[in-house]
Structure 1
Amino acid sequence: MHPDGGGGAIRVLNVAEKPSVAKAVAEILSRPSGGMRSREGRSRYNRVFEFDYSIGGRACHMLVTSVTGHLMELEFDDRFRRWHSCDPADLFHAPVRKSVPQDKQDIKRTLEEEARKCQWLVLWLDCDREGENIAYEVIDICVGANSRLNIWRARFSALIEREIHEAVQHLDRPNKLFANAVDARQEIDLRIGASFTRFQTMLLKDAFVLDDTGDDRNIILSYGPCQFPTLGFIVERFWEIQAHEPEEFWTINCSHTSDEGTASFGWIRGHLFDYSSAVVIYEMCVEEPMATVQNVRNQEKLKYPPYPLSTVELQKRASRYFRMSSEHTMKVAEELYQAGFISYPRTETDNFSPNTDLHSIVREQVAHPNWGTFAQRLLDPEARLWRNPSNGGHDDKAHPPIHPTKFSAGESNWSDNHKKLYELVVRHFLACCSQAAVGAETTVEIDIAGEQFNASGRVVLAKNYLDIYRFDSWGGALLPTYIIGQQFVPTTLTLDSGVTRPPPLLAEADLLSCMDKAGIGTDATMHDHIKKLLDRCYATKDANTRFSPTNLGEALVMGYDEMGYELWKPYLRSMMEADMKSVSIGTKSKSDVLETCLQQMKACFLDARANKVKLLDAMGTFFARSSRHINETQNSIEAVRPCAACNESEMVLKRRPVNYPPVHPFYFFRQIGSVALFSCLSFSFLSSDW
């Protein structure tokens, strides 16, 4: 980045994604000179901080303010926003617009007023696709007020002095491709979600009693292109469990006790489902029970530390170790990041750049009462404990893996979950930089009457990373000593029966793994899709974080499954996410991706609507039919035309109420408060009791 030429201090408008980030950036940058001033903007939640600073040797007067996430919303034009205003299929090509909602107009006015007085705009939004999209929303507002702005991008991963000063001294340009990818995703999700949500809500809530109170007026049966495949994983596992038929099996177990201890040998065959065959083999072993040691293998085994921490892995491990929901994990991680204790918590990267000073990160943890001693050992060359972290093979080119950025022994205002998550991040990082655990594993193979059995045992020789990573364990029983050719009579030799068991319900960590593997959602949105399933009552989560579908969730998946279109499967969304990635790297255009995806999904929608009886039949399996009149207009276009009286307001075609004169069976209708305006061809009249 090269500063503009000319004399005088440059007025620089800096915009962060959240008020807390704006305050942190301003405090860090203003420390060398001091004298930071703060004043209110148009929005009382988004203050403006002022101070002097030098960028690239050029004097600057810095103004730092913020937005609160997305500044704009993507919406349909007004005439398509009412549910009965059009055929839901029209939403695949209805006009859309991006605008600032009313509740963020004050933020917009602050940006406009400050931009008019500045020469530079520096964007401090989160350095991922979503942050880049918000950056371009800010650019649109600011450039609209001052087209001469010189626009820069600050890229950082932690709210700490080193990173913030480095970011502002090496400014970059914003990435339009990243913003385009999010624009494509937003439009696809809006069109698909709105069309299917309107279709299934209008079809089903009038046909069935979905609420125990019988009041279904406020029920929204939402559909989301990420939400439904996520539900599909839950339902599919539930169906696997239901379809499982227990089957009895038989296995032969053997043990041998000596002065050194007891060894338990397992049957190489595993188990047999045929009882007669199992009995014949077992009787052969009983008749000739002498066991002969055929092989003894002693091997050194290594247990490697985990890869550096990505967002999905953080969510999975917090769920597994602490039973924290993915949503709460991200909330706590965001708070730790904003307070400067961990790096940016939304990242797909699981390998560190060679330029990262890992030793300095470890050095900051030496004073900690719990893991400081290990950190000191890690830095000691004579301990030979250090090992550069492994490369997990993923790099989002935006942020490093999640790691600690500041020492803390536990802040006074931290909750238990803040302490747990910070500890996990620190211990995980220290483990990544440590040598693998070393163990000695012994495997003994024996023969009894021609049948093979084996036993294994392990002893840990060097715990290494396991000394710090208390969440991992590794070990086993130490076997007695055996030599090849040795013979012995088993202490026990039994024929045991068992029953096959179904797989367990998906735990939250399992569900996140399914989503990650199939490319459903992003590291920053997966927890939102899971939460939406719970909020919509499509699924429930028990105390062990395992998910079950509700009747409603199962019925919806069953209906779409019967249609033959696997809208609840991950394939379609996986292709969409791949297309979005192609947009972000420039190999596909936003317009091409939108056209292809929406054509495909509109065909799915039309086919689903044509086969709506299958969705109705699936719902009928779980819910009682309603006595209410089913909405007749759910699959037809409700005409919209200008009011015949004023020629301005939009009128919707409605069937004539029975208590009105039989002038015409259909009327155009517009609600005005408690008054309804009707217009039929060349006449109109007011009614106060419709």
Structure 2
Amino acid sequence: MGDKAKKSIIDYILSYSEKQKKKPVKTKEKTSSKKAIEKTEIQITHNIWDLIGKIVVIAEKPKAANKIALALSRNPIRKSMYGIPYYLIKNRHSSIIVASAAGHLYGLHTDQYGYPVFKYEWKPLYQIDPKAKHTEKFIMVLSKLCSNADYYVNACDYDIEGSVIGYLIIYFHGDLEKSLRAKFSSLTIEELRESFRKLTSLDWEMIEAGLCRHELDWIWGINISRALMSSVKIASGKRVILSAGRVQTPTLRYVVEKDIERRLFIPLPQYSLSINIFKNNYEIHVEYKGKSVETKKNAKEIIDEIKRTGYLIVKKYEEKIYTLNPPPAFNLGDLQEEAARIYGFSPYKTQSIAEKLYLDALISYPRTNSQKLPPTLNYKAIMNKLSRINNYKELVSNLLVETKGVLKPVQGSKDDPAHPAIYPTGVKPKDLGKDEWKIYDLIVRRFLAAFASKARISHRIVYLEYPKDPSMVFQASGQKILDLGWLRYYPFSKPEERFLPKFQYGEKVKIVKASIRKTYTKPPEKINKIKILRWMENVGIGTEATRARIIEILFSRYYLRSVGGRVEATDLGLGIIEVLMEYFPEITSVSLTRHFEEEMEKIRLGVKRREEVVKDAKNTLIKLIVSFDKKKYQIGKTLSYRLGYITPINKCILCNREAYKNNLCKYHYRALNTVIKTYDEWKRREGVDWNKYLSSIKKLKSTGKWIVEVIQNFEKIKYSPSE
């Protein structure tokens, strides 16, 4: 339908418009055989004021509709229908109606029960989801306004989701053969006007890729979720809402595996040599550069010998000046990471705030992967506008002096075909909340920093050796900022300054303090929401628009929870991954999810058809369901145990999970084995007996939860080190 409709709209515009521009565009496409072929298309660019008749412009949100109306007319007529605002603009030859969606108004639905199910259709969201009742009035308004229009303009956000939202509205209420696309990256008057002077045909590849994403997410999600819920119903007779998905489940598996590592962790003791030297009336701590000493006895022998010697010798002293390059402007992932690091914001919160700033025309479109600012942007105009905001007046003035008015931003490596890096538009903020201001400020400062000079840092480092054993080397370092450069504009990355005096090669430096410091091996890294999002980016699953939302879904399903600033899996989350890993492993696989992400990208590039990708997904899913059904009852029992619907006949003596061995569940049994295996290493390092070993690791904060539970209940387990 896409190719046919595309041809029809080109014919329509050519026959009905007074002015046309035919622009041949040559694009190289990769075929499945990896051969490049040449393809020529007609790219239509058209000014909205050249169109004659009734024109309906569809915005994604009411705020965007208001901005578009004000860009197209100084005095648009505000009207209302069913309490939903829309705008009317009249001129000599045409009347333009600017109407709004409320995000997605349609979703996929089936009337069939059970699984597998592959028969589905697009239906109004309010008929599918009771929480989407508000969308009914938007659909009613759009249905009336779109009636008998001569043109339809999709002016929703220029991304895959915006393309689908506008497409479905026109599909159900208008005429695809009379449709155009507006493409913009910010809601400023200047950019909106420019986009409506260069309307193009609908972005069919984006639409097809978006429809495919919705179909894949739906068929994977509904079939696997129904399979899981059906298994619980068979095993326990209980109904429960469970979900799984091609992006959601691999993400949950990642968190579960990291969480299991932490819960089974036992820290090992190690010893570092702590030495302070005296130089120029300064007492300076020096770090031992060798590996930590593993045994207490060996560490004591070394430190006693060093004390007797009383000095170290300077082996090497270096003084260098190095530069720090300015960072590029933010993409969404970078913004989310910085907001988490500096303010502790979740990725979803940061994204939500950024989207509000975009709708207020304060920043460009935030759901972008690009770290590049295009040369077509009027940097000087943006700077002039920012200088009228008190917080940035002095910073902009300094930047223009520093650059001598030559504004050339540093560019990052990541790009996005639809939108540039996030930049401030220069529109003056009004009534921003505290958190909204923090995100806006980050974006402005990062934008300014991208044009600034490198920072210059003076770095000193000294290496000192123990004279009786030159292989034992100690180190101290210091640094001073010589020129702030871009750090003046973006101080959040400012390095800490540390003083270090100068040294001479071969000089003896007096030791004033020497001791042993006992430390422990570090546990696996704590997982938080921003680390989950960055992992999703790195492995190539999800999109800028969906990743933060998927993470929140895992919390809303009670698969994950936040504890003490970190994310951990719930018993239900553990159970979901446990059964899927055993009986349905492909759905937990990053490679399968990434495969379909790559296939959707091929659709967006026009290399592959949506029908092929959907068919491939269905065939894969059918094979998995056949395998799942063979173990359905056992899967249902395991999930019912974790949900507390049924009690295992043989229950773990430490929790409510089913027993695996020694009256322990799989996790506590692994914890028991880990405790036993690690004792020999503790004994070698510390020389402790079994009871001292248990009491020591039980007290340590980094000891895993399941390890502690096993130690606390050794009497129940009835184990002794002689077994």
2:121 aligns to what? Answer: 97
**Map of 1:538-687 to 2, 5 A cutoff?**
538-542=559-563, 544=565, 546-563=566-583, 565=585, 567-612=587-632, 615-616=635-636, 618-619=638-639, 622=642, 624=644, 626=646
1:322 matched to 2:335? The reply is: no
2:494 aligns to what? Answer: 473
Q: Partners of 1:505 and 1:277 in 2: how far apart?
A: 32
**Map of 1:101-140 to 2, 5 A cutoff?**
101=125, 102=127, 107-108=138-139, 110-140=141-171
Compute the displacement of 1:478 (Å).
1.4
Partner amino acid for 2:272? T
1:455 matched to 2:476? The reply is: yes
Out of 93, 96, 99, which is 1:62 matched to?
Answer: 96
Compute the displacement of 1:615 (Å).
3.5
Out of 404, 414, 439, which is 2:424 matched to?
Answer: 404
Structure 1 residues 273, 305: CA separation in 2 closer, same or farther (over 3 Å shift)? same
Partner amino acid for 1:49? Y
Structure 1 residues 543, 404: CA separation in 2 closer, same or farther (over 3 Å shift)? farther
Partner amino acid for 1:565? P
CA contact (8 A) 2:106 2:124 kept: yes
Secondary structure in 2 aligned to 1:329? helix
- 1:417-451 deviation digits (Å, cap 9, x = unpaired): 22222112212211222223210111111110221
Q: Partners of 1:283 and 1:337 in 2: how far apart?
A: 64
> Which one is further off, 64-73 or 166-175?
64-73
**Map of 1:18-417 to 2, 5 A cutoff?**
18-31=61-74, 34=75, 36-41=76-81, 43-45=82-84, 47-52=85-90, 59-76=93-110, 78=111, 80=112, 82=113, 86=114, 88=115, 90-91=116-117, 94-101=118-125, 102=127, 107-108=138-139, 110-144=141-175, 150-204=178-232, 207=235, 217=239, 219-381=240-402, 388-408=408-428, 411-412=430-431, 414-417=432-435
Secondary structure in 2 aligned to 1:371? helix
Pairs aligned (count):
595
Structure 1 residues 242, 187: CA separation in 2 closer, same or farther (over 3 Å shift)? same
Out of 444, 459, 464, which is 2:462 matched to?
Answer: 444
Which residues of structure 1 form unaligned runs of 5+? 210-215, 629-690
Which residues of structure 2 form unaligned runs of 5+? 1-12, 20-49, 128-132, 649-723
2:54 aligns to what? Answer: 11
CA contact (8 A) 1:505 1:548 kept: no
Secondary structure in 1 aligned to 2:422? coil
- 1:661-689 deviation digits (Å, cap 9, x = unpaired): xxxxxxxxxxxxxxxxxxxxxxxxxxxxx
Q: Partners of 1:604 and 1:9 in 2: how far apart?
A: 54
Partner amino acid for 1:204? V
Structure 1 residues 262, 173: CA separation in 2 closer, same or farther (over 3 Å shift)? farther
1:519 aligns to what? Answer: 540
- 1:174-216 deviation digits (Å, cap 9, x = unpaired): 211111111111111111111111111122256469xxxxxx5
Secondary structure in 2 aligned to 1:489? strand
CA contact (8 A) 2:311 2:511 kept: yes
Partner amino acid for 1:39? K
Q: Partners of 2:444 and 2:71 in 1: how far apart?
A: 23
2:518 aligns to what? Answer: 497
CA contact (8 A) 2:154 2:163 kept: no
Q: Partners of 2:51 and 2:211 in 1: how far apart?
A: 38
1:688 aligns to what? Answer: none
Q: Partners of 1:299 and 1:608 in 2: how far apart?
A: 62
Q: Partners of 1:14 and 1:404 in 2: how far apart?
A: 25
Secondary structure in 1 aligned to 2:180? strand
Secondary structure in 1 aligned to 2:492? coil
Higher helix share: 2
Partner amino acid for 2:163? E
Compute the displacement of 1:504 (Å).
4.2
Structure 1 residues 621, 504: CA separation in 2 closer, same or farther (over 3 Å shift)? farther
Structure 1 residues 576, 273: CA separation in 2 closer, same or farther (over 3 Å shift)? farther
Partner amino acid for 2:188? I
Partner amino acid for 1:430? L
Q: Partners of 2:228 and 2:592 in 1: how far apart?
A: 19
Give RMSD over aligned pairs: 2.8
CA contact (8 A) 2:17 2:51 kept: no
Partner amino acid for 2:599? D
TM-score calculated relative to the size of structure 2: 0.77
Compute the displacement of 1:316 (Å).
2.2
CA contact (8 A) 2:232 2:640 kept: no
Percent sequence identity is 24
Compute the displacement of 1:357 (Å).
2.0
Q: Partners of 1:476 and 1:168 in 2: how far apart?
A: 52
Q: Partners of 1:8 and 1:608 in 2: how far apart?
A: 56
Q: Partners of 1:367 and 1:8 in 2: how far apart?
A: 38
CA contact (8 A) 2:331 2:422 kept: yes
Compute the displacement of 1:586 (Å).
1.8
Out of 434, 443, 448, which is 1:425 matched to?
Answer: 443
CA contact (8 A) 1:439 1:461 kept: yes
Q: Partners of 1:466 and 1:228 in 2: how far apart?
A: 40
2:668 aligns to what? Answer: none
Compute the displacement of 1:120 (Å).
2.1
Compute the displacement of 1:131 (Å).
0.9
Q: Partners of 1:372 and 1:8 in 2: how far apart?
A: 43
Partner amino acid for 2:602? S
Q: Partners of 1:399 and 1:203 in 2: how far apart?
A: 44
Structure 1 residues 114, 369: CA separation in 2 closer, same or farther (over 3 Å shift)? closer
Partner amino acid for 1:445? Y
CA contact (8 A) 1:15 1:65 kept: yes
TM-score calculated relative to the size of structure 1: 0.80
Structure 1 residues 284, 8: CA separation in 2 closer, same or farther (over 3 Å shift)? closer
Partner amino acid for 1:4? S
Compute the displacement of 1:313 (Å).
2.0
Q: Partners of 2:353 and 2:137 in 1: how far apart?
A: 28
Compute the displacement of 1:222 (Å).
1.2
Structure 1 residues 619, 142: CA separation in 2 closer, same or farther (over 3 Å shift)? closer
